[in-house]
Amino acid sequence: MKKIDAHCHIGNFGSWAGVENTVPQLLSQMKEYEIEKTILCSKDHTGNAMVLEAYENHPQRFIPLVYLNPLEEEAETLRKIEHYMDKKGFRGIKLNPLRHAYVADDTALDPIMEAAAARKAPVFIHSGHPPYSLPWSIALLAERHPSVKVVMIHMGHGHGVYIDAALKMAKRYSNIYLEMSGMPMGVKIRQAYEEIGPERIMFGTDSPFHHPSVEIQKVLTCGLPEKAMEQVFYYNALRLFAPASSTSLLVSSSATSTTVSS
């Protein structure tokens, strides 16, 4: 099946993590696991230039996100959005409340969300770690900015209560989308497809933190039929960035919504 990785990093994560992704490593990994495109961000808000270089060298392989820290001066944050999105072709925004120590629904995010709304760009936001990135806080942000597509990365991550909350919040707010990397319960991918909707759950790896083979197996064993898995692996991420007028052209008859029997 064709695949788009909806969440991946390049850069060196030192300290406790001790992992790294370079562009050659990532391209090799994409080839091995038949990942056609990768939605790419840096290790943090200081590495956007590295993502730009990767995108300029491989524009057909990467969909770039600008990584922002809303605790920087607002003018600097907006400058980065204008530079990377308006001038360099970046397609969305990445936020990590855990890394930068702010609560996900902090009003400091409002200028970023308003800029995303103006550009019809999705915002990818890390979820699953208290006190900063809990699904309830992300939902409050999505509620305040209903025109912005908010991608809840990890859909609650490793805690069952937070995974359940991610599903409940996505049911409540139609602008919340779910990405499943690092979330250990494959059955929740199927639950999201059935209960949230076939278009709002996406495959991702969070490489270099997780290996593609593990994340792929979670989709393959989640209980969805092949046509539904094609949505999760590929078409939902593609649709996320498409103009509304062209959405109907993205999904072939082999990947249309599939009813799953219990």
Look up residue 175 and give its two tokens.
């602008």
**42: three-class secondary structure by DSSP:** strand
> What confidence tens digit (pLDDT) does each residue in 10-52 have?
999 988 889 999 999 999 999 999 999 999 999 999 999 999 9
pLDDT in tens, 5-17: 999 999 999 888 8
Between the alpha carbon of residue 97 and those of residues 71, 103, 109, 132, the distances in Å are 10, 6, 10, 6
Distance (Å, whole) CA 104 – CA 134:
8
**Banded pLDDT at 157 (limits 50, 70, 90):** very high
Q: Which run of H or of E encompasses 20?
A: strand 19-21
* 138-173 b/e (C-beta count within 10 Å ≥ 16 → b): bbbbbeebeebbbbbbbbbbebeebbebbbbbbeeb
pLDDT given for residue 243 in this prediction? 66
Q: What pLDDT is stored for residue 244 in this prediction?
A: 53
197 burial via Cβ count (<10 Å: 0-12, 13-18, 19+): middle
pTM, full prediction:
0.92
Could you tell me which residue, 199 or 17, shows the higher pLDDT? Answer: 199
- For the chain, the average pLDDT equals 93
Sequence-ordered list of residues with C-beta below 8 angstroms from that of 169, at least 6 positions apart, any chain: 135, 136, 138, 139, 142, 152, 176
Q: Strand pairing of 3-13 and 19-21?
A: antiparallel
Report the alpha-carbon distance of residue 60 to residue 45 in Å, rounded.
23
Dump pLDDT digits (tens) for 214-235. 999 999 999 999 999 999 999 9
What digits encode the pLDDT tens for the residues 61-82? 999 999 999 999 999 999 999 9
Residue 89: CB atoms within 10 Å: 13
Closest CA to 240 of 153, 157, 143, 134: 153
- Strands 92-95, 123-126: pairing kind: parallel
Give start and end residues of each alpha helix (H) in 67-221: 74-81, 97-100, 110-119, 135-144, 160-172, 187-191, 212-220
Phi-psi region of 79 (alpha: psi -120 to 50; beta: other; left: phi over 0): alpha
Instruction: For residue 4, give the nearest of 254, 249, 212, 195 by alpha carbon.
Output: 212
Q: What is the largest CA-CA distance in the chain?
A: 51
pLDDT beyond 50 at 88:
yes
Please state which CATH number belongs to domain 3-255: 3.20.20.140
